[in-house]
């Protein structure tokens, strides 16, 4: 392989929001990764419904999970092909694909996590080495297995004299505390888009609340917000991670004591996301000077404006990672390209201070390509 080829990596991320997958092709030959192309593929309703159902025990779930993993891998391969066509690259010019897979169970307290993915099939379909199953090694070393993106945030966004916090708002919201020196920490701080999307789908038939307009039409319900904030997870110290296993529609339903107006519940769920992030910064990121938002939630203007308002009292500016040279919607996929690069170079991809693992680990399982 040419030296340049070893610096081209593809990253694929499909998160807990279940809206589809994001794939990027990046060049890591310079100090700052350069994005060459991006591709988004939405999930059809049947696949989205099946992935959501597989988050809970069900009939014949082993076969259904395997078939869903195959379908996902076909979508992943489709995205890879689109990236190659767009950039006029051949498979043998790409060092590896880093593919997170689709999380359907995350139970680090029981010693396991499960991301649907068929790395062997993806390698076969693309003829590119695939790095998958990133979380399991960290869990095996006593960690949470998540979040994994803080190591990438530190590599790309840390500043030598400014204390930054990077907040990723996907289905779950997580943050990375990046002081100019000293320990980096990161953790899931609570729901991101997950409950907002589920409530929006239930009451409007739309997959998400475009720009947060529906939430903006409602009013926060103080009693409901207070009840949801009693969830012990919010007060649990890091390291910690969470997902749909906790923050799901059943969790929300148990807090709905009466028939609230749907738009008011949506406004309250938006406030829950904002408060979870704001409180986490107060408790664990003292001295933060700048906050940068990434993930799908970065395009929810009502959510971002509410965050800006919340942090205005601390005189801390809130911006999108676009201002740092990486579009908000590309950060996670780029992180998994970077994590694949770490694995292929034999370097650790986790931060023990973030996940709680006993030591740094080389993450992932490698599925080689059949190159001759």
Predicted confidence band at 310 (pLDDT cuts at 50, 70, 90)? Answer: very high
Tokens of 306: 């509410």
Q: Give the rounded percent of residues in the chain with a pLDDT score beyond 70.
A: 98
- Residues 135, 159, single domain; the answer is no
352 found inside a domain: no
pTM to 2 decimals?
0.93
pLDDT digits (tens, 9 = 90+) for 234-279: 999 999 999 999 999 999 999 998 889 999 999 999 999 999 999 9
Residue 44 included in any domain = yes
Look at residue 349 and tell me if it is in a domain: no
What is the chain's percent helix, strand, coil content, to nearest 5?
Answer: 45, 20, 35
CA distances from 307 to 17, 173, 175 (A): 20, 13, 14
Give me the domain span that covers residue 16. Answer: 4-144+357-367
pLDDT digits (tens, 9 = 90+) for 132-154: 999 999 999 999 999 999 999 99
Query: Is 169 in the same domain as 288?
Result: yes
Res. 4: pLDDT tops 60: no
Q: Are residue 159 and residue 303 in the same domain, yes or no?
A: yes
- Whether residues 29 and 92 share a domain: the answer is yes
| Cβ atoms 213, 228 nearer than 8 A | no
pLDDT of residue 5: 54
Whether residues 162 and 293 share a domain: the answer is yes
Whether 293 and 244 share a structural domain: yes
Alpha helix segments (H runs only) across 88-192:
119-126, 135-140, 149-157
Query: Is 104 inside any structural domain?
Result: yes
Tell which residue, 125, 123, 105, has the closest CA to residue 115. Answer: 105
**β-strand pairing of 318-320 with 290-294:** parallel
**Distance from the first to the final alpha carbon of the chain:** 11
Count of alpha carbons within 13 Å of 282, Cβ hemisphere only?
14
Which domain CATH number covers 192? 3.30.420.40
**221 and 202 in one domain?**
yes
Q: Is residue 341 part of a domain?
A: no
Q: Are residues 245 and 362 in the same domain?
A: no
Same-domain pairing of 185 and 75: no
Answer yes or no: is pLDDT of 70 > 60.
Answer: yes
Number of domains present in the structure of the chain: 2
| Per-residue model confidence (pLDDT) at position 6 | 72
- pLDDT for residue 291 is more than 80: yes
212 and 299: one domain?
yes
- Do 154 and 140 have their domain in common? no
- Asked if the structure places residue 340 within a domain, the reply is no
Are 172 and 137 part of one and the same domain? no
């Amino acid at each position: 392989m040419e030296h340049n080829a070893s610096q081209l990596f593809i990253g694929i991320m499909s998160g807990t929001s279940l809206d589809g997958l994001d794939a990027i092709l990046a060049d890591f030959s310079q100090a700052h990764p350069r994005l060459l192309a991006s591709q988004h593929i939405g999930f059809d309703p049947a696949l989205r419904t099946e992935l959501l159902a597989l988050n809970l025990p069900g009939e014949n779930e082993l076969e259904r999970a395997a078939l869903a993993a195959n379908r996902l891998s076909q979508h992943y391969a489709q995205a890879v092909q689109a990236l190659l066509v767009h950039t006029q690259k051949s498979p043998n010019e790409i060092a590896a694909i880093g593919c997170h897979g689709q999380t359907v169970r995350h139970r680090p307290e029981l010693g396991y996590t499960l991301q649907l993915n068929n790395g062997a099939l993806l390698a076969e379909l693309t003829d590119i080495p695939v790095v998958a199953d990133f979380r399991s090694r960290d869990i095996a070393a006593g960690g949470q297995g998540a979040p994994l993106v803080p190591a990438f945030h530190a590599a790309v966004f840390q500043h030598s004299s400014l204390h930054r916090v990077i907040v990723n708002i996907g289905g779950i919201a997580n943050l990375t505390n990046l002081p100019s020196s000293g320990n980096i920490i990161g953790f899931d701080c609570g729901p991101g888009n997950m409950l907002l999307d589920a409530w929006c789908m239930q009451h409007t038939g739309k997959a998400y609340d475009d720009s947060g307009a529906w939430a903006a039409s409602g009013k926060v319900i103080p009693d409901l917000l207070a009840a949801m904030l009693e969830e012990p997870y919010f007060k649990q110290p890091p390291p910690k991670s969470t997902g749909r296993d906790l923050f799901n529609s059943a969790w929300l339903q148990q807090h709905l004591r009466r028939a609230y107006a749907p738009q008011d519940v949506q406004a309250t769920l938006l406030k829950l996301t904002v408060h979870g992030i704001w409180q986490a910064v107060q408790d664990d990121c003292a001295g933060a000077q700048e906050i940068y938002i990434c993930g799908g939630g970065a395009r929810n203007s009502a959510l971002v404006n509410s965050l800006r308002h919340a942090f205005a009292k601390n005189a801390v500016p809130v911006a999108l990672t676009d201002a740092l040279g990486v579009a908000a919607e590309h950060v996670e996929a780029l992180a998994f390209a970077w994590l694949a690069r770490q694995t292929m170079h034999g370097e650790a991809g986790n931060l023990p201070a973030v996940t709680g693992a006993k030591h740094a680990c080389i993450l992932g399982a490698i599925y080689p390509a059949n190159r001759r």
